[in-house]
Amino acid sequence: MEYAMHLVDDLLTELGHYLYFCSLDATSGFLAVMMTLRARKISAFV
């Protein structure tokens, strides 16, 4: 499977339409996120 990355300019333009947005830093905590086996197969941390 291949997933294309969005262009940063496109993402910033789209964010301008929202009232709220969230940014999470999971550098040290990604192993602490509890997920089911199914969720692990379809999730990604970038």
In a domain, 30, yes or no: yes
> What residues make up the domain containing 23?
8-42
Q: Mean pLDDT, the chain, as a whole number?
A: 76
**Residue % of the chain over a pLDDT of 90:** 0
Confidence class for position 42, pLDDT limits 50, 70, 90 = confident
Distance (Å) of CA 25 to CA 1, 2, 13, 22, 34: 26, 24, 22, 10, 16
Q: How far is the C-alpha of 25 from the C-alpha of 27, rounded, in Å?
A: 6
In a domain, 2, yes or no: no
29 within 8 A of 35, measured Cβ to Cβ: no
In a domain, 3, yes or no: no
In a domain, 1, yes or no: no
Total of domains in the chain: 1
Confidence class for position 2, pLDDT limits 50, 70, 90 = confident
